[in-house]
Amino acid sequence: MNIQSLIFETNIRRSFKLVKQDMLAVHSQVQRTRFDQANTKVLLQDLVKRIQTLEQQMLYPVKKIASRPISKNIFTKKVSKKKFIASKTGNKLHVKNCVFAKNILPKKRLYFASKIKPLNHGFKACECVKK
Ligand SMILES: [Zn+2]
């Protein structure tokens, strides 16, 4: 084997080695791209879900129910039903003609048709109610 063919053979070996390296690089690049694609798909699905959730919230907003210590809808405004009286600033419940009820300023009066509801909502019965 002369020197010329030896150099030629060495060059061919080196060329194949470089081609092999390039092939490996391309292979790993393709795999990385596939991984990125899969990741992007998952991210997209997540985004679509979040958009759908937001759309649902916009169409059907959740109504927050305010908590009230004493419910206003248990008071009565009909004159014929004003049997019990309490003060807006107090917690005692009186019958209409109790002396304590008469001392409550008209603008501070709360009227009830029955004693059951106000007693269930935190008012305490005066002696006049217990009779
Ligand atoms: Zn009373």
**pLDDT tens digits for 26-69?**
999 999 998 888 888 989 999 999 998 888 888 776 665 555 55
**pLDDT above 70 (res 70):** no
Q: Which residues contact 87 (CB under 8 A, 6 or more apart)?
A: 104, 108, 109, 110
What CATH class is the domain 72-130? alpha beta
**pLDDT tens digits for 74-95?**
777 676 678 999 999 999 999 9
pLDDT of residue 101: 93
Handedness of CA 94, 97, 98, 103 (dihedral sign): positive
**pLDDT above 60 (res 24):** yes
pLDDT of residue 54: 85
Confidence tier at 122 by pLDDT (50, 70, 90) = very high
Q: What is the mean pLDDT of residues 105-121?
A: 93
Cα–ligand 1 centroid distance for 119 (angstroms): 13
The string of DSSP codes covering 36-78 is HHHHHHHHHHHHHHHHHHHHHHHHSPPPPPPP-SS-GGG----
Residues 94 and 126: their CA atoms lie apart, in Å, by: 6
Cα–ligand 1 centroid distance for 90 (angstroms): 12
Cα–ligand 1 centroid distance for 70 (angstroms): 20
Domain residues of the chain, as ranges?
1-64, 72-130
